[in-house]
Structure 1
Amino acid sequence: MNRPYAEVIGDPIAHSKSPLIHGFWLKALGIDADYRATHVTPEGLPAYFADRRADPAWRGCNITVPHKLLALDHIEDRGDVRHTIGAINLAFRAEDGAVIGTNTDGAGFYAPIADLPLAAAPVTVVGAGGAARAILFALSRVGVGPVTILNRSPLKGAGLLSTFGLKGRVLPLDAPIPPCALLVNASTLGMAGQPPFVPDLSALPDDAVVYDIVYAPLETPLLAAARARDLDTVDGLEMLVGQAAVAFEILFGRAPPHERDEELRGLLTA
């Protein structure tokens, strides 16, 4: 029997740290399986899922930009993710052989800030793509508000506020950052190969938290600006490892060895 494997798909994909994370956990737990990165274009998604369905060794795949919305058309949506979060970041083979989609981004995003008093707190989110949907879904569950979305498309941002029952407003991407308890960059701005995101943070209170989900590079201009103001920060590795942990347990049936989290972070930042 072929060796079991899972993978991460995206376009581009070379920057992904998922193979390092999952490979570290597989080795630590002694699981005889592989995890790889596979470049898949939007046009190639139908053929990709058709091929993997026919491969019994395939456990599933993590899904990154730009496929988090497109992949919904190629999987079974038994948890009705389409009408809640509206995007998936994981497809996996169920016990009955079906390929099912789910989203672990929300849980991964929220884990590092679970202790913050966010109920009724003002929040600003940059972006309105698949990651932003998962983040807004998580934030709506803890009753934040009002929420300001900065996005190129005001209509798309307003649609997300409505979808998740959040009160707030939508501003252009270059609008000044308003006072808020939590600022989240849920866009690709600041990612390697993308324009930087360097907003003026002067309106943020001293106890605000700045959270950038970009992890390549880890030290983004946004986080550097936040640290220069001595604000608390959360970097992209926190969400990346958090969502990966949920996915790993689904794909391989074992919880990651969290007692080795610091060792893993050292590898990811080397």
Structure 2
Amino acid sequence: MIQDIAPHTFSNAYSNREPETTDFALCFNNRTVLLHEQNGAIRFPRFSELRGDTDTLFQSATYLFSIDDDRFYWIDQPAEEQGEFRLVDISVFRKAFPRHSAFAGITAYSLHKWYDNHRFCSHCGAKMSAHDKERMMHCEKCGNMEYPKIMPAVIVAVTNGDKILLSKYANREYTRYALLAGFTEIGESVEETVRREVMEEVGLHVKNLKYYKSQPWAFSDTLLMGFFAEVEGNDHITLDKDELAVAEWFPRREIPANESDISLTSEMIEYFRNNN
């Protein structure tokens, strides 16, 4: 999965440290990121490679995280193409390598969105400021505190003996087969989310829920929790056409090939394919 970057080590411990010229600068403009890309390999600019006044760049920089000895900063100003670095859509991180750079890029994009969306207090409208001890935006006027947004959601592999239920989203850019998924609502457990989402999307009851593993999915600011669940009773699919374009049962030997290994969905499908 995209966060599996070993032997590299990711550290998100907050620090209020100043950047150095050798640190990486993550620059965004809407859904694009400034980087050098060649045949799928990506590289972010270091501060020393960016045009502009060094003091201004340093003042607009916010520390994000480190991977091994490399530190990554967000630049709080719209990115512009320069030299070998071009603005590329963030979807590049789905297939880019090295893997740890792709993970750094999409994680930085998630934090960029959070910082950019919390410039002003949602309670009183005053300007927010970054806290100097933790990753939090603080309103000095009313005391409101805002932390990075992480939304819990489930991924569900519904099985029926030797078959698994695969679906395609309706009206989405992603058109490949996937598992059922949905966000946890206020007041419900993740197990209740599994049962509700399966019933809402395909009209099936499930039993014997088994937790598989979780994944931070920064493309949607989500913490995904994967479950396997067995169909209970009638296996006839009643499709929610607002959510899904198609949903169907696939015998293990007929499961479509996966083209990516970055997602929890892909790993769970492969786990079912290879385990009788």
How does the TM-score come out when normalised to structure 2? Answer: 0.27
More helix per residue = 1
More strand per residue = 2
How does the TM-score come out when normalised to structure 1? Answer: 0.27
Larger radius of gyration: 2
